[in-house]
Amino acid sequence: MLVLPDRDAAEEIAAELELRLGLPEEPRPLREALAGEDDAEDAQWLIVLDDARSTYDPAMLDALAAEYDGWLERP
């Protein structure tokens, strides 16, 4: 799961991931409010990738997210 600070960044990365990873469709960014925050402005944007076979390079994903002030969150 990639965690990003805003919708624009999430949408740009989703398009980039579709191309880089050869996904059948662009992943949809999801909005997630920060725990304990009431302000709608304090929300993170998530891109959840199904990688059950661990085929995606975590270093590449983390570096891509970092370009947009985000990070890779691992379970």
How far does Cα 59 stand from its chain's mean position?
Answer: 14
Cβ contacts of residue 51 below 8 Å, gap of 6+?
A: none
For the record, the structure tokens of 11 come out as: 């949408």
Tally of CB atoms within 10 A around 39: 8
What pLDDT digit, counting tens, does each position of 18-67 carry?
A: 999 999 999 999 998 766 555 556 689 999 998 878 899 999 999 999 99
| pTM given for the model | 0.83
The beta-strand segments (E) located in the chain are: 2-4, 30-33, 43-47, 71-72
